[in-house]
Amino acid sequence: MSMQRKAPPTWDKVGKHALFPEAKHDEIARFNFLANLNMHLSSDVIPGVKEAYDGRARPQFFAQHGRDPETRHEVRALMSEDPYYQWWSALRRSTMEMRQQAGRSLVLRQMDKLNKVAASFNEGQDTLQLNDDLPLPNYVTIVDTHCMPGSYHTAEVDGDVSAGANYDSGIFVTTVGQLGSMTDGGGRAISDWLKRDHGDFKPQRILDIGCTIGHNIVPLAQAFPDAEVIAVDVSAPVLRYGHARAKALGVNNITFIQANGESLSDLANESFDLITTSMFLHELSTQSMPKILSEIARLLKPGGLSVHLEQPQYAGRPVFEQFMRDWDTWNNNEPFWGTMHDVDLEAMIGNTGLPESHQFTVAVAAKVDESIFPKTEHDSDSEDFGRAAAWNVFGAWKPTQSTKQESAA
């Protein structure tokens, strides 16, 4: 009997707003192809890499060395010679480049219009604070992050938002809709977890560092509509887009500021209840990460919470899994990814004054967005259309006087 295949949502189902690029028939078709290609690579092609490792590469290594590979670097050296791994890697990289070209061609042809719309939402608004003089850190400019030509920070023309629009249009494709129609699965996962596990926590002031287009801070701002929310990033194009996007979505409690998380001197000590980062720590550097974590500790009120949404650390994971998780470090312009996932994050956060006794890790997953993945009569309640987007939350509470005393006892 033939299995019923799952069709991912077509790209016309992506959540739109006034800033969202308008796609023609064939541009949508191109994204549909790419989403299905991404799905195919992850469901049908990637499993073969483990099979090649277990079936021929690892036995070959064992025959040569009398032991299995002990580090992900040994696995990488071994697998880079394996033809199946070579093909999967080549296809993955090629697919990312196709997605970028498709997103850019969509956005650049209507760039003038998008920039005008953004300006109409942004003009005269003190909730968007840009700074032309802010230097871009080396870890932001040295390569274009995750193979996005021009990264987040390149403006094609004055007042440009195209980097933000390209990013907004493509996540639906690379994640096959698993972050939801509004690409906010990460932020929703944080707010859902907070409401479920810390229902009494009502942050009055929230800070998001490395906000990009604000797709993760918007659901938090919506979950706490009375809170004052600050979102910072070093890159102007995505801030312009993010601010206009939030306004277009009717979310008016966020101020977007162009600033470097390493030094947020305009923000007062102990002035935030909740500080978040989403898929941000791996974009930094060995020099900057402790500085940013220190700033977070400084900015948190006693009893406040810092939350980092990230992929899990490598420690304790099987070397083959580490190797696969490390692919982006070597091949997707994420040069700090591997280093970041090796770091003793508890110790690093502990050094900023948020002790390990006040830290925790919890797994969160994006809830299936039923507006684009409608439940059918065949689905059980636990069906998640394959692996749902999932992350670790690395959390740390800032001690109050009483909790300081408790942890010292």
Partner 1 sequence: MSVDHITDAGKKAKGDRPYFLASEQTEQLMNITMALAQELAVTRERMDTLERLLESASIFSREDIESYVPDSEAAEQRQLWHQEYIARILRIMQQSREAIKEKQDGQPSTEDVMKDISS
Interface residues with partner 1 (CB under 8 A)? 25-26, 29-30, 32-34, 37, 80, 83, 85-87, 89-91, 93-95, 97-98, 100-101, 104-105, 108-109, 111, 142-144, 147-151, 156-157, 330-331, 333
Closest separation in Å from C-beta 147 to partner 1: 4
Q: Which is nearer to partner 1, 109 or 375 (CB)?
A: 109
Cβ 340 vs Cβ 365: under 8 Å: no
**Of 27, 214, 244, 237, nearest in space to 150 by CA:** 237
Shortest separation between residue 114's beta carbon and partner 1, angstroms? 13
- Based on CB atoms, which residue is closest to partner 1, 41 or 388? 41
Q: How far is the CB of 254 from partner 1 (least distance, A)?
A: 29
Compute the least distance from the CB of residue 60 to partner 1, in Å. 17
Ramachandran quadrant class, 353 (left: phi over 0; alpha: psi -120 to 50; beta: rest):
left
Q: At closest approach, how far in Å is the CB of 218 from partner 1?
A: 27
Closer to partner 1 at the Cβ: 290 or 335? 335
Min separation Cβ 323 and partner 1, Å: 14
Nearer to partner 1, 29 or 388 (CB): 29
Nearer to partner 1, 153 or 367 (CB): 153
- Quick one: 156 or 270, whose CB is closer to partner 1? 156
Query: From the CB of 94, what's the least distance to partner 1, in Å?
Result: 5
| Closer to partner 1 by Cβ: residue 224 or 336 | 336
Q: How far is the CB of 215 from partner 1 (least distance, A)?
A: 21
Selection from 177, 114, 99, 110 nearest residue 370 by Cα = 177
At closest approach, how far in Å is the CB of 238 from partner 1?
Answer: 16
Q: Which is nearer to partner 1, 233 or 334 (CB)?
A: 334
Query: SS3 letters for the chain?
Result: CCCCCCCCCCHHHCCCCCCCCCCCHHHHHHHHHHHHHHHHHHHHHCHHHHHHHHHHHHHHHHHHHCCCCCCHHHHHHHHCCCHHHHHHHHHHHHHHHHHHHHHHHHHHCCHHHHHHHHHHHHCCCCCEECCCCCCCCHHHHCCCHHHCCCCCCCCCCCCCCHHHHHHHHHHHHHCCCCCCCCCCHHHHHHHHHHHHHCCCCCCCEEEEECCCCCCCHHHHHHHCCCCEEEEEECCHHHHHHHHHHHHHCCCCCEEEEECCCCCCCCCCCCCEEEEEEECCHHHCCCCHHHHHHHHHHHHEEEEEEEEEEECCCCCCCCHHHHHHHCHHHHHCCCCCHHHHHHCCHHHHHHCCCCCHHHEEEEEEECCCCCCCCCCCCCCCCCCCCCCCCEEEEEEEECCCHHHHHHHHC
Closest contact distance (angstroms) between CB of 64 and partner 1 is: 21
Q: Nearer Cβ to partner 1, position 100 or 306?
A: 100
Nearer to partner 1, 110 or 255 (CB): 110
Residue 135, number of CB atoms within 10 A of its CB: 10
